[in-house]
């Protein structure tokens, strides 16, 4: 009897699995009518939550997607960061770790979610250079987001490679992708309609036939410059009748939706945490739900700008606002994946307007504390300098094939040896040394790029300028943003010549190879190292409040930047980057030459 029951159970499981597989691979038609999105010919309302696979540990992709579904969403929107998949020209990675975008999309489908694909090529997203590959900045006169032939050649290559990954996942091929975006908020940048139409044509030629949409601010000039004939109109944001009427005036023959509805906002260094009013959010979502509009939460879950992936803003030639490492965004799902009070408010609100059953909220991810870890000096940046590159005047790091980290410029002072030193332009934070001693710092923001050099006893004083890149500008008109010194250095008006340049990318491989070489010659720019033992792993937040400014690596993984100006003081470290037993932590601090302790907390503040 037990054997018969077992056989029946196995047959039932087999039939059920076959049914699920068949349903998952069923082909669908998603189309646009004059006023509605249509799924297999029937009106379909998109309630989407946006998240970015590059900002989420791969082990948590499914959890975050389940969280979005449990808040009431039926769709996941995802930016694809071009420079994350082609960091070196012509070399693409769509398979390793977080780069496997096809797997992310498949998980969305397995969890019963549709997908809105946001492939750029430009995406903004507070991501380094808006997702564009910085190797393009090696071209001195490059123009982006237009029909510059060199830019378009790179775009064509990217579209070709990405299309091969996502084409099988279109809903018409049995996958979950229902919409593809063309560019992003182009009406806030330019008006090259030829460029937008060529992008549309490129996707079509590579087997991505649409339907498409664009996304722009709900103003006439932005919609005029940023939309494409036949594409749905996304509004960033659409939260009133007035906004949607603007879309209808632009094109009355396609549907519109709120393509970025903001439950939170971005935060820069030196600001307070951005935490918008929740009552306003509730009012906006209530309007969208009552009026039957489709919408996308930007973002439902932000994640983390690990490593050097954070971008920056600038709205005049001397402004520079770098983004913090956390991309929590005050989103409904926190940086480490927990449901916030905002999440439960939205979940309750959405449940009152949808007919489908909203599943239970997944259990939170385990978090741990790490007792204080003592760090000791390991070496300094001055002891690991690579072979220098000679140049008449300073050049930015992109001209040498480096796109992040630090760059050191060195010369001897001849002629003028004291007075006013001016750096034109310092991108983004410079430390100035005379004969190995820190004299002053220069911050790009504000345009105050001059310092006073003191008198030196040396016949020809040694001038060192260590420059940190803090993320390429990702929005608006000042995006041609190279790092390091972009033009020249003068002393009392005299242009300084004959430089030696040292490339310091601070890659994970570079830091992993550091050897002890301390304490002789204590200077700013010190690497500190420590170890800690764990009986169990879990997510944690490394508190850096006892340090000044720099980068943290745990077991070889770059957690990102820290800076004591705040508001962020703790860096997120996912459980997958920890291990039971002994763990290593390395800290590079540009401005602190005394060791301090670090500690792990369960919460970000």
| Per-residue pLDDT tens digits for 563-578 | 999 999 999 999 999 9
The 3-state DSSP class for residue 246 equals helix
d(CA 322, CA 303): 17
- Whether the pLDDT of residue 22 is over 50: the answer is no
d(CA 283, CA 290): 11
State how beta strands 42-43 and 37-39 pair.
antiparallel
pLDDT for the residue numbered 349 = 98
Tell me what the mean pLDDT of segment 321-329 comes to.
98
Q: Assess contact for 28 and 211: CB atoms under 8 A.
A: no
What residues have CB less than 8 Å from 1, skipping those under 6 apart?
Answer: none
- Whether the pLDDT of residue 221 is over 50: the answer is yes
> What angle separates helix 61-70 from helix 101-110, to the nearest 10 degrees?
40
The 3-state DSSP class for residue 272 equals coil
- Whether the pLDDT of residue 5 is over 60: the answer is no
Tell me what the mean pLDDT of segment 483-502 comes to.
98
Tell me what the mean pLDDT of segment 8-36 comes to.
66
Residue 51 DSSP symbol: -
For the chain, report the end-to-end CA distance as a whole number of angstroms: 59
pLDDT 10s digits, 92-127: 999 999 999 999 999 999 999 999 999 999 999 999
**Local confidence band at 18 (pLDDT 50, 70, 90 cut-offs):** very low
- The residue annotated as part of the active site, out of 165, 183, 260, 335, is 260
d(CA 247, CA 233): 7
* Of 265, 248, 249, nearest in space to 257 by CA: 248
pLDDT for the residue numbered 25 = 72
260 belongs to the catalytic site: yes
* Of 578, 536, 535, nearest in space to 553 by CA: 578
pLDDT for the residue numbered 521 = 60
**Local confidence band at 219 (pLDDT 50, 70, 90 cut-offs):** very high
Q: Higher pLDDT residue, 572 or 14? A: 572
CA-based torsion, 552, 597, 366, 301: positive or negative: negative
**Local confidence band at 523 (pLDDT 50, 70, 90 cut-offs):** confident
- Whether the pLDDT of residue 16 is over 50: the answer is no
536 belongs to the catalytic site: no
* Of 383, 430, 385, nearest in space to 526 by CA: 383
What residues have CB less than 8 Å from 176, skipping those under 6 apart?
Answer: 105, 108, 109, 113, 114, 115, 169
Please state whether the peptide bond connecting residue 211 to the residue before it is cis, i.e. omega within 30 degrees of 0: yes
- Whether the pLDDT of residue 11 is over 90: the answer is no
Please state whether the peptide bond connecting residue 237 to the residue before it is cis, i.e. omega within 30 degrees of 0: yes
**What angle is formed at CA 552 by the lines to CA 550 and CA 556, rounded to 5 degrees?**
140
d(CA 456, CA 453): 9
Q: In the block, which residue shows the tokens 């960061």?
A: 81
The reported pTM is 0.95
- Whether the pLDDT of residue 424 is over 80: the answer is yes
pLDDT 10s digits, 34-66: 999 999 999 999 999 999 999 999 999 999 999
Tell me what the mean pLDDT of segment 382-390 comes to.
96
d(CA 291, CA 285): 10
Domains of the chain: 2-351 (3.20.20.80), 370-379+514-601 (2.60.120.260), 385-504 (2.60.120.260)
Average pLDDT, the chain: 95
d(CA 594, CA 596): 7
- Whether the pLDDT of residue 526 is over 50: the answer is yes
d(CA 110, CA 112): 5
What residues have CB less than 8 Å from 171, skipping those under 6 apart?
Answer: 27, 28, 29, 30, 114, 177, 178
d(CA 514, CA 304): 26
pLDDT for the residue numbered 207 = 98
pLDDT for the residue numbered 4 = 52
pLDDT for the residue numbered 265 = 98
pLDDT for the residue numbered 490 = 98
Return the number of other C-beta atoms located less than 10 Å from residue 17's C-beta. Answer: 10
d(CA 587, CA 570): 13
- The residue annotated as part of the active site, out of 86, 183, 185, 425, is 185
pLDDT for the residue numbered 12 = 46
d(CA 238, CA 125): 18
What residues have CB less than 8 Å from 297, skipping those under 6 apart?
Answer: 48, 49, 50, 73, 261, 263, 331, 332, 346
Ramachandran region of residue 125, left (φ > 0), alpha (ψ -120 to 50) or beta? left
Q: Give counts: helices (H), strands (E), the chain.
A: 11, 32
Tell me what the mean pLDDT of segment 338-357 comes to.
98
Q: Which helix (H) or strand (E) holds 110?
A: helix 101-110
Cα dihedral value 158, 86, 572, 358, nearest 10: 20
Tell me what the mean pLDDT of segment 195-211 comes to.
98
**Local confidence band at 520 (pLDDT 50, 70, 90 cut-offs):** low
d(CA 536, CA 269): 33
Between 1-10, 46-55, 278-287, 473-482, the lowest mean confidence (pLDDT) is in 1-10
- Whether the pLDDT of residue 24 is over 80: the answer is no
């Amino acid at each position: 009897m037990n054997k018969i029951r077992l056989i029946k159970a196995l047959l039932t499981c087999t039939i059920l699995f076959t049914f699920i597989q068949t349903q998952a691979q069923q082909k669908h038609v998603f189309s646009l009518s004059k006023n509605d999105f249509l799924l297999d010919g029937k009106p379909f309302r998109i309630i989407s939550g946006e998240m970015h696979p590059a900002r989420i540990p791969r082990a948590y992709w499914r959890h975050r997607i389940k969280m979005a579904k449990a808040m009431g969403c039926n769709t996941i929107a995802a930016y694809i960061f071009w420079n994350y998949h082609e960091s070196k020209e012509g070399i693409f990675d769509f398979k390793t770790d977080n780069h496997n975008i096809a797997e992310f999309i498949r998980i969305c489908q397995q969890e019963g979610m549709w997908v809105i694909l946001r492939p750029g090529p430009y995406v903004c997203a507070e991501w380094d250079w808006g997702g564009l590959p910085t190797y393009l900045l090696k071209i001195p006169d490059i123009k982006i987001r237009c029909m510059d032939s060199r830019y378009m050649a790179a775009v064509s290559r990217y579209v070709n490679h990405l299309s091969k990954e996502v084409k099988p996942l279109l809903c018409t091929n049995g996958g979950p992708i229902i919409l593809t975006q063309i560019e992003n908020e182009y009406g806030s940048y330019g008006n090259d309609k030829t460029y937008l139409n060529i992008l549309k044509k490129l996707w079509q030629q590579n087997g991505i036939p649409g339907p498409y949409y664009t996304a722009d601010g709900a103003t006439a000039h932005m919609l005029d410059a940023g939309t494409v004939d036949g594409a749905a109109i996304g509004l960033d944001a659409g939260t009133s009748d007035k906004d949607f009427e603007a879309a209808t005036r632009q094109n009355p023959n396609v549907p519109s939706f709120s393509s970025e509805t903001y439950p939170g906002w971005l935060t820069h260094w030196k600001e307070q945490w951005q935490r918008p009013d929740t009552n306003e959010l509730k009012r906006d979502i209530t309007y969208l739900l009552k009026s039957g509009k489709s919408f996308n939460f930007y973002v439902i879950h932000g994640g983390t700008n690990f490593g050097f992936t954070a971008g920056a803003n600038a709205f005049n030639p001397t402004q520079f606002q770098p983004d913090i490492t956390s991309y929590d965004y005050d989103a409904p799902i926190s940086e480490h994946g927990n449901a916030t009070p905002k999440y439960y408010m939205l979940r309750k609100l959405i449940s009152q307007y949808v007919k489908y059953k909203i599943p239970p909220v997944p259990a939170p991810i385990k978090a741990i504390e790490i007792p204080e870890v003592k760090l000791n000096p390991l070496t300094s940046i001055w002891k690991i300098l690579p072979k220098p590159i000679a140049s008449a005047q300073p050049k930015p790091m992109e001209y040498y094939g480096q796109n992040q980290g630090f760059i050191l410029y060195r010369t001897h002072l001849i002629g003028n040896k004291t007075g006013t030193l001016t750096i034109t332009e310092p991108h983004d934070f410079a430390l100035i040394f005379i004969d190995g001693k820190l004299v002053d710092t220069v911050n790009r923001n504000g345009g105050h790029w001059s310092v006073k050099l003191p008198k030196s006893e040396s016949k020809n004083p040694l001038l060192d300028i260590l420059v940190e890149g803090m993320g390429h500008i990702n929005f608006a008109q000042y995006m041609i943003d190279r790092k390091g010194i972009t033009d020249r250095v003068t002393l009392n008006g005299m242009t300084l010549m004959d430089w030696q340049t040292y490339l310091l990318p601070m890659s994970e491989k570079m830091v992993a190879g550091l050897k002890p070489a301390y304490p002789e010659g204590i200077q700013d720019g010190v690497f500190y190292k420590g170890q800690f033992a764990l009986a169990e792993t879990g997510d944690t937040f490394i508190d850096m409040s006892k340090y000044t400014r720099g980068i943290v690596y745990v077991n070889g993984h770059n957690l990102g930047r820290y800076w004591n100006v705040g508001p962020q003081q703790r860096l997120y470290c996912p459980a997958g980057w920890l291990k039971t037993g002994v763990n290593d932590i390395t800290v590079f601090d540009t401005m602190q030459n005394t060791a301090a302790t670090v500690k792990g907390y369960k919460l970000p503040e």
